[in-house]
Amino acid sequence: MKKEDDVCSRLRELLSDAVKRNTADALLLSGGLDTSILAAASEDAGRNKLALTVFMKETPALDSEYAKRVAQEFFYEHHLISITENEALEKIPEVIRAVENFDPALPNDLVIYVALKEAKKLGIKSVMTGDGADELFAGYSYMHELSHEELNKYIRYLSNSKTMYFSSNKLGDYLGVEIKQPYLDTEIVDFALDINPGLKVKEIEGEKYGKWILRKTYEKELGEVAWRKKEAIEFGSGTTKLRDIIALKISDAEFNAKKREYKMEFMNKEHLFFYEIYKEVVGEVPKATAMMMKAKERNVCPICKAELPENQFHCYICGFSYPISKYLEGNAPSHL
């Protein structure tokens, strides 16, 4: 196994090069680990630097505070974009129209949409995001309980270009803003796949940290931010509050009645809310054919009945995902 210091040094070099190859007019800065690293790695890019951060008013949106620190530390012109509850709800149909799904994770997509919309308004043509770091370096908490062998297999599966999906790409296409993703640079992906899984997840004083090697590599520049816990965009931005607001709009009786009416087992009330907007602004879910439903049941989403592409276990229309065991049963593409 390569020494940790050697891995950190090489990772720093590769990320610096990847950022240069993916130079953008602005950085979508959450103040979390992934985008803060990009801010640090961009320090010598020799360009006027601009960062965008979105938060919802009257919420404990920690992203804005961390992002302010990072932007100040690395000399970014920082645009803090605030939205109200009503503005957020009004924008949801446009987000659904853009991403063409009713995934319960839409509050995350809303933040990206608002940032890219502001970028477009400012005349910005390209935006850099932290997409891919969680998938390649084990940022999600559910990855932390896997054995090294399982983690390695799962990350290899996720790294398949047909599997890796980010809503920022669709939102960027919809708004006419180019998305740059340094973590998905070929050299970063190859290096990440070659790293010992033990350097991705480590337990320190009883707490497990994903993306450990990324944290270690940039802890000097980022300080406290390097060890910030992983949070979904919706939590850091405050848009998670929309879930409570939406849930109050739908009674239990209506929720159960709508499940029977649509013959769909919605995950929660927000899922139903997003689906009804989807029906209005996108249309009906493209259903799998009767022949496929009979012949290959696992290739049909059990919630919305859309076709799942071969060797895929996540539905990009309704957001359903099979348990991680599905990915580890040997069903992943054979070339991995």
pTM for the model: 0.92
Angle at 291 between CA 289 and CA 294, to 5 degrees: 110
Show me where the domains of the chain are located: 4-237, 251-283, 288-336
Query: Residue 1's pLDDT is what?
Result: 46
Interatomic CA distance for residues 219 and 230, integer angstroms: 15
Query: Residue 231's pLDDT is what?
Result: 85
Instruction: Look at phi and psi of residue 45 and say left if phi exceeds 0, alpha if psi is from -120 to 50, else beta.
Output: alpha
Beta bridge partners of 180: 128
Q: Are 246 and 275 in contact (CB under 8 A)?
A: no
Phi, psi of 163 (to 5 degrees): -95, -40
> Per-residue pLDDT tens for 47-66?
668 999 999 998 888 889 99
| 4-237 belongs to CATH 1.10.443.10 | no
For the chain, 336 residues long, give each residue's pLDDT as a single digit of tens. Answer: 468 999 999 999 999 999 999 999 999 999 999 999 999 998 654 466 899 999 999 888 888 999 999 999 999 999 999 999 999 999 999 999 999 999 999 999 999 999 999 999 999 999 999 999 999 999 999 999 999 999 999 999 888 755 678 999 999 999 999 999 999 999 999 999 999 999 999 998 889 999 999 999 999 999 999 999 888 889 889 999 999 999 999 999 999 999 999 999 999 999 999 999 999 999 999 987 654 555 554 588 999 999 887 778 889 999 999 888 887 875 544 333
Contacts of 238 (CB under 8 A, 6+ apart): 55, 56, 57, 59, 60, 61
Query: Residue 47's pLDDT is what?
Result: 60
Q: Which of 30, 47, 74, 33 is nearest to 215 (CA)?
A: 33
Phi, psi of 251 (to 5 degrees): -75, 165
Phi, psi of 224 (to 5 degrees): -60, -35
Interatomic CA distance for residues 328 and 336, integer angstroms: 12
Angle at 172 between CA 230 and CA 46, to 5 degrees: 75
| β pairing state of 126-128 and 50-56 | unpaired
Instruction: Look at phi and psi of residue 43 and say left if phi exceeds 0, alpha if psi is from -120 to 50, else beta.
Output: alpha
Interatomic CA distance for residues 119 and 62, integer angstroms: 22
Dihedral, 237, 238, 240, 243 alpha carbons, nearest 10: -140
> Per-residue pLDDT tens for 153-192?
999 988 875 567 899 999 999 999 999 999 999 999 999 9
SS3 33: helix
Query: Residue 44's pLDDT is what?
Result: 54
